[in-house]
Amino acid sequence: MKNLLDFTGKVVLITGGSRGLGKTMALGFAEQGADIAVSSRKIESCEKTADKIRTLGRKAFAYACHVGHWDELEGLADSVYNHFGRVDVLINNAGMSPIAPSLFETSEALLDRVIGVNFKGPFRLSALVGSRMAAGAGGCIINISSRAAVSPTAQTAVYGGAKAALNTITRAFAYEYGPKVRVNCIQCGPFHTDISKGWSMSEEFAARAKVTIALQRAGDPKEIVSTALYLASDATSFTTGAVIRVDGGSP
């Protein structure tokens, strides 16, 4: 199993890779030998994460891209391929989840932004990278979804809808680019990150978690890394089109 999780010589592209779960996965793959392409909206944040990856003895490439902007994604894919010559693993992690006051008060602008980042971007980037993987040595795509995809509230309806769409296209892309490319999805529950700590570490959340979550807590970011490594490795050579829950037993 240790050899199966050895990513030496592999290249991993992670969107939203400069903070939160994306950063943790970037460092986790680097610790297992992978070279990492880190993308997010701000190049300074990408470079900081890239510097940490280099301290682990791995190569890193930083590239600023807003995944919700369709016309920026081809530049991202081309730049990573020009730099490394290949992509073995694509992790569509970038996301945004603004809260709407109500369904009636949800604006078209908010809907377009949320769908752009959480669905349209991963769709296009998976096509750009997945097609090259299929034409070459193959690879793996991992989409990062949310339990909101199956259990949304009125305030998270747009986000949940976008993530539900991401769950759905996981299977579509698995068929489109199989058998050389495997495509799977991690459906996340609540995690403690720099983004969520305002609510995930609150007394209100802790009280609710004791009743609604089987493990009665939010996850540590490192607890997603093993699942991402597993899905990207040959240990899951017969797993594709799957949605894997990593949510502590959330409803």
The upper half-sphere exposure of residue 8, i.e. CA atoms within 13 Å in the direction of its Cβ, equals 5
- pLDDT given for residue 169 in this prediction: 98
Residue 80 located in a structural domain: yes
In tens, the pLDDT along 15-50 reads: 999 999 999 999 999 999 999 999 999 999 999 999
- pLDDT given for residue 46 in this prediction: 98
31 Cβ contact list (under 8 Å, min separation 6): 56
Span 72-76, average pLDDT: 98
The upper half-sphere exposure of residue 64, i.e. CA atoms within 13 Å in the direction of its Cβ, equals 7
DSSP symbol at 149: G
Domain CATH number, residue 234: 3.40.50.720
Residue 250 located in a structural domain: no
Band of residue 3 on the pLDDT scale cut at 50, 70, 90:
confident
In tens, the pLDDT along 115-141 reads: 999 999 999 999 999 999 999 999 999
Residue 156 located in a structural domain: yes
Burial of 103 from C-beta contacts in 10 A (0-12 / 13-18 / 19+): exposed
Residue 15 located in a structural domain: yes
In tens, the pLDDT along 223-251 reads: 999 999 999 999 999 999 999 999 999 88
Span 88-97, average pLDDT: 96
Question: Distance between CA 97 and CA 152 in Å, rounded?
Answer: 12
Catalytic residue among 159, 175, 177, 230: 159
Higher pLDDT, 99 or 31: 31
In tens, the pLDDT along 171-205 reads: 999 999 999 999 999 999 988 887 766 667 687 87
Residue 230 located in a structural domain: yes
Residue 144 located in a structural domain: yes
- pLDDT given for residue 101 in this prediction: 86
User: Residues 189, 250: contact at Cβ < 8 Å?
Assistant: yes
Residue 3 located in a structural domain: no
- pLDDT given for residue 206 in this prediction: 84
Residue 2 located in a structural domain: no
- pLDDT given for residue 100 in this prediction: 86
User: Residues 228, 142: contact at Cβ < 8 Å?
Assistant: yes
In tens, the pLDDT along 48-61 reads: 999 999 999 999 99
Known catalytic residue at 159: yes
Band of residue 1 on the pLDDT scale cut at 50, 70, 90:
low
Work out how many domains the chain is built from and give that number.
1
Residue-range definition of the domain harbouring residue 80: 11-245
